[in-house]
Structure 1
Amino acid sequence: MKSKLQEASEEFLNYLLDVRGYSETSIVTYEIVLRQMLEKSHVYEEDGFIVLDLTPFRLQIVRNHKKTIVKKLSAVHSFSKYLEEQCQLRIKLIGDESIKVPQSLPKPIEERYIEEVLNHANVEEKLLIFMLYGLGLRISELSHLKLEDIKGGWIQIHGKGNKVRELPVLESVQELISLYTKRMSPIKYLFEKGSAPMNAAQLRYILTKLFKAQGLKVTPHQLRHSFATHLLNNGARISDVSELLGHETMATTQVYTKLGSVKKMQEYMKAHPLADTKDMLE
């Protein structure tokens, strides 16, 4: 029975890659999780069901971070759903109870720090920041951005699951792109090394090194967080921000409104005349 599921797992990975448009990095992650799960779990048939007892697998990953456990169980659930819907198998999972993970708020970078780093950046570095912070792109989206996708005041982004969205480009970003392309002469992709696109790791290295030189520890995803948070703090509609980020639902974008509420409360506690009334109460 396990060999049958192992074959099905290979088909599932191909399905995620070819049909769902998952990245190769995600496919590798799924492959590792499913291999671990099938190696450790008990698999047997009972009352017309293929039973997957995940208890031994759960014992193996019990020391993992809570978020890691949740992601691994999510991969198993996705595989189970695939077996039921695509392979017409009846699956019963045992020991698949999830765990609650507290939702952490993103940590945006203050605008003054971004401006400070831009003052020390070359043209390539500036464009990298402008694309991540000015457009809210994922680093993987930027890595695969082609010159042909940049058309006047719009950029076409091929995001997760092969979903395409069009983003308006600030005039300052348009000018920087023009300057950059004249100096660097990229052929096919906006960011290239040789004849190939720069991958996410290469772009991340440039960015982290740039911010580190100014004493800041910053990731590409933090710039994406900052893009969303600063827009919302300045009055942008959450529906528009959600669309710009390429989120499937606005629920994913809600975390940024919570962050804005926290900041507003902190500012209120500092600014209100009654905020410092300790002496009055004694």
Structure 2
Amino acid sequence: MAELRRELERYLRHVAIERGRSTHTVAAYRRDLTAFLATAERAGVTGPAGLTSELVQEHARSLRSGERPQAASSVARALSSIRGFTRFLLEEGVLESDPAAEVAAPKLPSRLPKALTIEQVQALLDATEGDEPARLRDRALLELLYATGARVSEAVALNVDDLLGEDGTVDVVRLFGKGGKQRIVPVGSYARAALDAYLVRGRPLLSARGRATPALFLGVRGARLSRQNAWLIIRAAGERAHLGVELSPHSMRHSFATHLLQGGADVRVVQELLGHASVATTQIYTRVTADALRDVYVTAHPRARAGSA
């Protein structure tokens, strides 16, 4: 078992350093794989050679039907972590075959992204109005999220120098996505105005409360705004706006993509703006817009409803 634990640590270093995974992702891998090794230890496995497809299947069953049964999505994530680990051991010559390759993950229900309407986005943005430094920051943050489709984690990781343009005008923003992949996204006029107001009248006052930092979005103590606090800002704005819908940290990102496609944007352009590695990931938003069009058609067309003459 000591050998397996050494291989686990080697794999985690690999995904952190060579594949550039975030500390959050590496921590999730560690949790999943530590649980898997615990199952292996209970089964009497002492080294990598004892990792079999039957063991992987037994671990998946224990997750689904143990003392604290896990959701299908959690089981699927755990199996994904195990596949990454066993594939690494195969590529490194530690294993002769991949024991997890043929183990099927549980089927997950299709979840369509929940986008806000344009009117709901406007109400959410209006709920951040104010001249206080924190309100100027909140407006700039939400405008930027909607204007660029950035993930919340990407937005809070921004530095002031990532706002690019000429003559002091913010034209584009440089975002760093998963694996540190960089992309350049245009910034619209409303987001530009909100950023200018924050940079001139809000950020200097917040910055004076802490140590100097290049971070764009600052908390009340002058340090970089955390992802958790950014989510609290979104949720608080939603409560003030009385939207009547459940928000998620990705609500603005989903709305950005959906509204672009509804406006006629090419799916591959949206793919680039979102930083998706595959266009298949982006195409889920085309399903959302198709469903919306179908609803309008059924409601509005005189011969679309059952019983029409």
Cα drift, residue 18 of structure 1: 1.5
- Percent of matched pairs sharing the same residue: 27
Q: How many residue pairs end up in the alignment?
A: 278
Structure with the largest fraction of strand: 1
Q: Does 1:26 align with 2:25?
A: yes
Does the aligned pair in 2 maintain the 1:50–1:92 contact within 8 Å?
no
Q: Does 1:96 align with 2:108?
A: no
Q: Does 1:264 align with 2:290?
A: no
- After superposition, the C-alpha distances for 1:36-57 in whole angstroms (9 at most, x for unaligned) are 00001346599x9543322442
Cα drift, residue 264 of structure 1: 0.8
Does the aligned pair in 1 maintain the 2:125–2:143 contact within 8 Å?
no
Q: Counterpart in 2 of 1:158?
A: 176
Does the aligned pair in 1 maintain the 2:16–2:22 contact within 8 Å?
yes
- After superposition, the C-alpha distances for 1:134-166 in whole angstroms (9 at most, x for unaligned) are 110011101110111111111111110110111
Does the aligned pair in 2 maintain the 1:125–1:206 contact within 8 Å?
yes
Structure-2 separation of matches of 1:171 and 1:115: 15
Structure-1 separation of matches of 2:114 and 2:57: 36
Structure-1 separation of matches of 2:255 and 2:184: 20
The equivalent position to 1:115 in structure 2, one of 117, 122, 131, is: 122
SS in 1 for 2:60: helix
Structure-2 separation of matches of 1:24 and 1:51: 26
Output the TM-score relative to the length of structure 2. 0.84
- After superposition, the C-alpha distances for 1:227-251 in whole angstroms (9 at most, x for unaligned) are 0001001100000000000000101
Q: Counterpart in 1 of 2:157?
A: 144
RMSD: 2.1
Q: Does 1:241 align with 2:248?
A: no
Q: Counterpart in 2 of 1:60?
A: 62
Structure-1 separation of matches of 2:44 and 2:183: 42
Q: 1:274–1:258: structure 2 CA closer, same or farther, 3 Å change rule?
A: same
Cα drift, residue 220 of structure 1: 2.3
- Residue type of the partner of 1:222? S
Output the TM-score relative to the length of structure 1. 0.91
Structure-1 separation of matches of 2:178 and 2:35: 26
Structure-2 separation of matches of 1:92 and 1:161: 25
The equivalent position to 1:188 in structure 2, one of 214, 218, 236, is: 214
Q: 1:33–1:45: structure 2 CA closer, same or farther, 3 Å change rule?
A: closer
Cα drift, residue 80 of structure 1: 0.6
Cα drift, residue 196 of structure 1: 2.9
Q: 1:120–1:96: structure 2 CA closer, same or farther, 3 Å change rule?
A: same
Structure-1 separation of matches of 2:22 and 2:239: 28
Structure-1 separation of matches of 2:93 and 2:198: 50
